[in-house]
Amino acid sequence: MPIRSADLPAKPLSPRPVLAVVLGLLFLGSFHYCYGLKLLGGAQKNSASVLEYHNGPKRLGVYIDPALTKAAARSLHLDPSFRAHIKGAVYAQLLYVAQGSGKGIIIAASEENEVAAFDALTGKTIWKRSLGVPVPLSKLPCGNINPLGITGTPVMDRSSGTIYLDAMTTPDGGATKRHLVYALSVKNGSVVHGWPVDVSARARHGKIAFDSSVQNQRGALALVKGMVYVPYGGFFGDCGHYRGWLIGIGASKPASLKAWATASIGGGSWAPGGVASEGGRLFISTGNTIGAGRWSGGEAVLRFGAGPVFSGKRADYFTPENWKKLDEADADLGGAGPILLDLRRRDGKTYRLVVALGKDGKIYLLNRDNLGGMGGQMAAVRVSSSKIIGAAAAYTTARGTYVVFKGKGIHCPRGQSGGLTAVRLVAGPGLSVKTAWCADQHGMGSPMVTTTDGHSNAIVWSVGAEGDNRLHGFDGDTGRVIYSGGKGAAIGLVRRYQTPILAGGRIYVAADGVIKAFIR
């Protein structure tokens, strides 16, 4: 509003109050600047922690670093002084705790049930914790991970300084198998009082009891409004009477546990992205059920309320009309976890989407406020000639909104091909999907995206996991190669579907027994 003469002071202000006002305004300006950077996702270098899978509850996989332009990315190289070692294979994504002044801690977890914290600048071990003996593959009914320990990506509560994770353990060489959900202190790795939670001893859904001997835990955990959520599926090979499970445990009250399970055998929730969330609502995808006469929770995207509680209403689930055919072909809709994405329409309104990707090579676009029940998708388009398995990422640039995933794209631009595909989502009167670019990532990694401000200088990064085991970077709009591994940049054996992270101005990649850091 305009200043009136009556609003002016009757006499000049003394220097001391004026100085106080000026200092106060400077403080507020500084506060709002720093807080604004925080709201943008931690754009200030070394200011953002990575507390969960793909850097957020919507599983978009987007990171911000103002200095990591496309030009700067070309100078990326391994930090020769960074040395961090962990026992065993690493499937879980790394986490990062920012500590200010350029300092931070990297958290890693392995199949040997070792959890470790490392200085993010030097790789020096801060602490290590063994959570028990992992289960040998020879003692499992089927599978492809040996031994089996910690596979799903943990989740971290920064406010309490706690890490939550699931470890597959055995006290007797593999005869007894237990899924134990732990809470560890970030400070020293100690087990928080009241933990771990023995899932087999506690979890039931109606008359169905949880059986650790046939259940695997591969999907990322989530922490939503004081509850830790853990998804479960089966082992590679679909052996035994496993089910899809979602377990909820009170973070401050571990004695409080609730569980949901599929009505039929199968329907595992096994995608690396695990549980996506928005507010108090949870989203998971599930795979094929076995011998089901009617739809019973498999081949689906499911939405839960806190607990978890599943209503069974059409608004809270989606499954393709050909779910039975997908079951019979083992063409899981659950090969990639759901992504929660907002897509701006031409009329200024927004599509609030769930993006799902299947082993049938299709992308499914769903209304996340009403999933639509059977056949209720907003769009379903075949975008890959191969199975889509892993974790996708989604990002928006000045040219459009993209979803990028591991899969052999169809309708690739002339001269492009490979196992990494980006599609552009177009919001007109309806929704359409167009293949934007295809590239060769030389392996089976899951992509993530870096930008300088949330939209500009978008670079898609992925590792040639179980292939060339090198880091690769691609222009987010065109797929043009920006970074191709670099000389002397061998990482080691990176496990399939592993994804890099950006933290403190560096890109970190986990391989068997080692963590590598890339710097500019």
pLDDT for residue 26? 37
Output the pLDDT for position 18.
Answer: 37
Cβ atoms 79, 244 nearer than 8 A: no
Residue 450 belongs to some domain of the structure: yes
**Between the CA of residue 21 and those of 27, 183, 398, what are the distances in Å?**
10, 46, 41
144 in a structural domain: no
User: C-alpha distances in angstroms, 84 versus 18, 51, 107, 162, 509?
Assistant: 53, 19, 11, 21, 11
Cα-Cα-Cα-Cα dihedral sign, residues 210, 216, 217, 218: negative
Reading the chain (520 residues) residue by residue, the pLDDT tens digits are: 332 333 333 333 344 443 443 334 333 333 333 333 333 333 333 359 999 999 999 999 999 999 999 999 999 999 999 999 999 999 999 999 999 887 999 999 999 999 999 999 999 999 999 999 999 999 999 999 999 999 999 999 999 999 999 999 999 999 999 999 999 999 999 999 999 999 999 999 999 999 999 999 999 999 999 999 999 999 999 999 999 999 999 999 999 999 999 999 999 999 999 999 999 999 999 999 999 999 999 999 999 999 999 999 999 999 999 999 999 999 999 899 999 999 998 888 999 999 999 999 999 999 999 999 999 999 999 999 999 999 999 999 999 999 999 999 999 999 999 999 999 999 987 899 999 999 999 999 999 999 999 999 999 999 999 999 999 999 999 999 999 987 667 799 999 999 999 999 999 999 999 999 999 9
* Closest C-alpha to 470, from 518, 405, 505: 518
Residue 233's DSSP bridge partners are 216
Q: Has residue 82 been placed in a domain?
A: yes
Identify whether 72 is part of a domain. yes
pLDDT number for residue 487: 66
Q: Which amino acid is at 517?
A: A
pLDDT value at residue 346: 84
Q: What one-letter code names the amino acid at 87?
A: K
What's the pLDDT score for residue 47? 54
pTM across the whole model: 0.91
Q: Tell me how far apart the alpha carbons of residues 150 and 127 are, in angstroms, rounded to a whole number.
A: 17
In a domain, 511, yes or no: yes
Phi, psi at 380, each rounded to 5°: -145, 120
- The number of domains in the chain is 1
70 lies in a domain?
yes
Whether residue 254 is contained in a domain is answered as: no
- DSSP per-residue string spanning 323-358: HHHHHHTT--GGGEEEEEEEEE-TTS-EEEEEEEE-
Report the percentage of the chain scoring pLDDT > 90. Answer: 87
Enclosing domain of residue 424: 63-89+392-496+498-520
98 part of a folded domain = no
**Contact (CB, 8 A) for 92 and 153:** yes
pLDDT value at position 42? 32
